Chain A
Amino acid sequence: MARAKKRRDEAQPAQPRRARKPIVELRDVTKVYPGGHMALDRVSLAIDRGEFAFLVGPTGCGKSTLIKLLIRELTATEGSVSIAGRDIDTLSEKKTPHLRRNIGTVFQDFKLLPDRTVFDNVAYALQVLGASRAEVREKVGETLRLVGLSTKLHSFPDQLSGGEQQRVAIARAFVNHPPLLLADEPSGNLDPITSIGVMQLLYRINKTGTTVIVVTHDREMVDNMRRRVIELYEGRVVRDEVSGGYTEESTTEFGLRMRAEMGVGPEGQTNGHDAHERLF
């Protein structure tokens, strides 16, 4: 952990640690696509370190555009996007990979490399940093234990269930212990039980201090989790509220409550396939 923190500071030397600036800050961000479609309309928001935030809204409301702005796959037409106090619009193209190394990303379609084993998929995120073999072995093993896949090191993605593949993707996003983790519809392709498992995993990652932003349109899930919710509608923020009450619960409490509220029932009643995945 200490080592990961050190690297984080090296990658972003401009960031004054004591200032505690919001990890994500958007100021009057407007994004107009070349066709003239306005995806985001003067969006301003700030997300602090260690927060767990949901980004919700119907299809086409600008959620994905916002995520793409954060990883600098797109740049804002107007306004500024800052990550950890650094305006990423002014970031050179050469520096973009360094930004991405500090942001873990998880997608609905997992985006795993099909010709690599579970181990190699997770290891790749460390190899791009030039990590040594020993370091790769240690960290990948540790992270795969965290997500509950230590028995599937040598499986290929197509040999895994959807839930397992998403756990690999989460492991890859987190292996580097980034300060920020973005999840774009992480449970979009998964059944409710598996979805809770994935959310529980993200919650656990959040507990280690990583800021987690989850994009979803699963209203029930969002309401039950009782975290900060930012709702977008036609490119504008229409709701940004923190519904508290359970903020200090442990991962286990979180999991139990989620299952109860979503009506999934106790563990014995699950479909069995994903039951062994749950470690918490």
Chain B
Amino acid sequence: MSQLFFFIQEAFRALRRNAAPSMAAIVTTVVTVVLLGVLIPIFQTAQSKSEEVRDSLEFRVAVYDDATKSEIDALRGDLEGIPHVASVEFITKAEALAELENDLGKAKSEDLLTQLRDNPLPRNFAVKADDAANLEAVRAAVTPPGPNGKPQPISPIIPAEDPTFDRREDAQKIEQVTSALKIVLTVITALLIVASLMLVGNTIRLSIYTRRREVEVMRLVGATRWFIRWPFMIEGVVVGFAGGLMAILTLWLGKITIIDPLGDTISFLAAQNNSTLSFPALAAILFGAAVLVSAIGSGVTLRRFLKV
């Protein structure tokens, strides 16, 4: 017990005596933790956003105007039976018109409709796939190739010409972009985590390197490895604790002053509150990581200097 007290005393003495390297280590920890604290929610938000976009990917199956209700219900059952179909929704002519008005603007669509005199939009089914990647497979299942090689719709009420159409022409593009974005963000996050770990490791190595003479003398008078190592590890814990605490405080200040007020107006920021880790959980993970990394980092780095 008195031994532990001695080690703690040694650690604090070393921190005081090596104020500049200690400060450098703390600042490095702060920067790293703040960086991760900003990046992790961004990554999570981007991921959940891209999943949201993927969720909305759908295609439409048009239905002839003269189809009866029982035919339509039968088709609904068939569509729902196709693998990877997440949902099937029936859109009436009026709803289709409302969608068009929504897309083009009221004035333009009314202008268009006066020229046509009647609502030309077909009733249709909105078919959603469970994943954007499966969308084309579902579409192919609705219009399998017939005996003559041409696509043959699964139901006679589906027009043979243009049986399906996309409300969003660039559905595929969105899918590509979101998966690319995901890869880029994953790579950036991974690189930053590696970079910050190396930065912390380097800072620790530097502070130990400046004290290798001290370690040499300690070994000379017969200090065991752990006797030398404990104060260094406690020092690492103190540095990680101080750095982590300061970083969490910075993040929290940033959250309440910048993110939270903007969250009301910008949906991207608001999304963070629902779909990602809660702030306390994130803070706890980052804090624990900061303390652990700097303590273990100190212990491991010291090994090089402890060889007999």
Contact = CB atoms under 8 A, between A and B. Distances in A.
A111 B219 contact: no
Given A97-B224, A132-B2, A111 B218 contact: no
B267 interface: no
Contact of A105 (B13, B17, B214, B220): B220
B107 interface: no
Contacts of A115: 13-14, 17-18, 214
A113 B220 CA distance: 12
22 contacts: A72-B308, A73-B308, A96-B308, A97-B222, A97-B225, A98-B222, A100-B221, A105-B220, A105-B221, A111-B213, A111-B217, A113-B217, A115-B13, A115-B14, A115-B17, A124-B218, A124-B223, A125-B221, A128-B222, A128-B223, A128-B227, A172-B221
Interface in B1-60: 2-3, 6, 13-14, 17-18
Given A73-B308, A115-B17, A130 B3 contact: yes
Interface of B: 2-3, 6, 13-14, 17-18, 213-214, 216-225, 227, 308
A161 interface: no
A128 B217 CA distance: 12
A71 interface: yes
B214 A93 contact: no
B contact face: mostly helix, strand, loop, or mixed? helix
A101 interface: yes
Contacts of B308: 72-73, 93, 96
A270 interface: no
B6 A127 contact: yes
Interface in A64-104: 71-73, 93-94, 96-102
A47 interface: no
A125 B222 contact: yes
Contacts of B224: 94, 97, 128
A112 interface: yes
Contacts of A130: 3
A100 B17 contact: no
A249 to B, nearest CB: 31
B25 to A, nearest CB: 17
Contacts of A100: 219-222
A102 to B, nearest CB: 8
Contacts of A99: 222
A101 B3 contact: no
Contacts of A132: 2
Contacts of B219: 97, 100
Indicate the member of B2, B13, B221, B224 with the most A CB atoms within 10 Å. Answer: B221
Given A73-B308, A93-B308, A128 B218 contact: yes
Contacts of A111: 213, 216-217, 220
